[in-house]
Structure 1
Amino acid sequence: MGSRESTGIGGALLIGYCIYFDRKRRSDPNFKKRLRERRRKQKIAQEKSGLARIPDLKDPGAVQQFFLDEIQLGEELLAQGDYEKGVDHLTNAIAVCGQPQQLLQVLQQTLPPPVFQMLITKVPTVSQRIVSAQILAEDDVE
């Protein structure tokens, strides 16, 4: 038996092993229940983090609509004096913006310095959460 043959047999065994356990996992009566529970928990976590309706970043129309909605909502909340939530929405917009530096320059000129500083502080964490949420959404295709 040559090394090629043993590699082929090993590969076939690995594939067979994967197929067997995938079928076993999917035929488990609690599989769908656990999958729904995991998705529900992810949705709750996203809602708590303020990222419940992150668009598909591959869909330019959805991203543009999300961006415009977040800018509008952020401006409305800032006008009402709710700086914390207003900054959260503006930060979401920056995270999906194609040219965040230009947007930050505009916001720096229009926002009061303390509010702009609050915004700058939140940008890295919100951007990372949006990327993470997008990765989770892509990985959850089962």
Structure 2
Amino acid sequence: MVSSKAVLGLCAGVSATLFIGYCIYFDKKRHNDPDFKKKLRERRRAQKAASSSGKRCKTVFPDMKDHEAVQRFFLQEIQLGEELLAAGDLENGVDHLCNAVAVCGQPNDLLQVLQQTLQPEVFHLLVKRLPTVAPRLMKAQTSNASLQEDDVE
């Protein structure tokens, strides 16, 4: 007859083997993803830029006429904001979320989602900072327009 300790040990061994197999399978699947290296480089570049920029990072807004660039910028800012908030850097995290709201096509919908997902104090900080983003966005757009005019000449 098999003792209960032996059965328990066997179950633990099988469970550990299955878990390790599960981890190896998904790690291999993740590494074989064609966009993995691209996403990893972008994430590392963003983290490096966020850490080396000091207290506030200088944001380069995309050309608002280029829908693809705006969409990439939006997704990048949301991801950066979430990562910085998760790391405990509220100031920079909120700044990046403000940038995302500024370029968003439907900011009210995004603000409703953020209100439901963020902590109340973080959301209030976000709402408090939003008015400061619009002038930066306008300044970036006017400087982009003047650069384009200089290119034409």
SS in 1 for 2:70: helix
Letter in 2 for 1:119: L
Q: Which residue of 2 aligns with 1:130?
A: 137
Matched, 1:57 2:57: no
**Partner letter of residue 104 of structure 2?**
C
Tell me the distance in 1 between the aligned counterparts of 2:118 and 2:96: 14
Q: 2:116 aligns with which of 109, 112, 116?
A: 109
Give every structure 1 segment of 4 or more consecutive aligned residues whose post-TM-superposition deviation is greater than 3 Å: 47-52
Q: Note the C-alpha offset of 1:137.
A: 1.6
Counterparts of 1:1-142 in structure 2, within 5 Å, are: 50-140=57-147, 141-142=149-150
Which amino acid in structure 2 is aligned with residue 74 of structure 1?
G
Q: What displacement does 1:139 show?
A: 1.9
Q: Residues 70 and 90 of structure 1 are in contact (CA less than 8 Å); yes or no, is this contact kept in structure 2?
A: yes
TM-score between both structures, scaled by the size of structure 1: 0.63
- AA aligned to 2:61 is I
Flag structure 1 segments of 5+ consecutive residues without an equivalent: 1-46
Aligned residues: 96
TM-score (norm 2): 0.59
Structure 1 contact 56–134 (Cα < 8 Å) conserved? yes
Shift of 1:128: 2.0
Given residue 141 of structure 2, which amino acid in structure 1 is its aligned partner?
Q
Contact 1:51 1:130 in 2 (8 A): no
Q: Report if aligned partners of 2:57, 2:92 keep a CA contact under 8 Å in 1.
A: no
Q: Distance in 2 between matches of 1:52 and 1:77?
A: 15
| RMSD (Å) for aligned C-alpha atoms | 1.7
Given the superposition, is the C-alpha separation of residues 104 and 70 from structure 1 closer, same or farther in structure 2, using an over 3 Å criterion? same
Letter in 2 for 1:113: P
Give 1:52 shift.
3.5
Using the TM superposition, name which of 95-104 and 127-136 deviates more: 127-136
The SS at the match of 2:138 is: helix
**Contact 1:56–1:63 (CA under 8 A) maintained in structure 2:** yes
Contact 1:95 1:126 in 2 (8 A): yes
